[in-house]
A and B are shown apart, each in its own frame.
Chain A
Amino acid sequence: MSTQALIMMITTVTVVTCITGYFFYKVLTTPPRSEPDSYEDNDDQPR
């Protein structure tokens, strides 16, 4: 592989993998939402 192609591939693959990994990590570590405690928070739920 040429140096140019190698740089292009490694850069793109690294950036895409890191960003995907970052967002995946964010999804996994984001704490679940607490239960709604008022009708205002809960206004889209059927009563």
Chain B
Amino acid sequence: METTTPFDLNQAIQRWRENFAQSPALRGENLAELESHLRDSVAALEARGLSGAEAFLVASRRMGNVALLETEFGKVNRSTVWLDRALWMLIGLQVWQLIVSPVGAISKSVVALGLTGGRFDFFRHGLTIPTILFAAVHLLTVAGCLVFCWWLFVRKGQSFASRIEPFLHGWIGLVLICGALCLILLTGSVVSYGSVVLQAKFMDPRTLGEITRSQTYSNMFWWITQTGGFILLTLILARRRLRIAKA
């Protein structure tokens, strides 16, 4: 036997509103107006004999689909959309920096410690192996951080945003966020700079010199790869944009 739960218009409208909740294209007032329209539309359809659920279905279909409405409202609320984009870019940049430099410093220190602990003879074996090791660890770090950021912003983007949002409304929340960021910043700095200081203090100066040299080679390789990669990406995007604009 089929069990039917009675239709609740308020609940249905709440669910419908959630489609747009994270969208910067629609402001609160826009949603209020659309909701008012939806309720008028449902009432009119019910008066013509449709059930509550049917009326809601027809009314929301007539309203238009979510993507279409977002695009059209986005054209009118351009400033809000751009504010949202700039904000997310800034957040992304900061999360990236906060993660990448401490993680990179830790992994490099681990390699340096491993090499000296394993009694690697820099003077006999040369710098090729340490340089490759440093570069490989750097690659792993960047890849790992990329995966983490992708997971945070793309996979968990919605819940990440909705978890942060409540903090932004009050002053206490803002102070809490600032405090947490300062803590992360401080820990990151202590870890990344502290490890370098410790190496300088306790390592044999000649070994330290060789480690610094191989790290510098690896950094140079990375700088070239990274900058080259960005230039290539920019060119590809510029070409794509041109092709889409002309089509």
Q: Do A and B come from one complex?
A: no
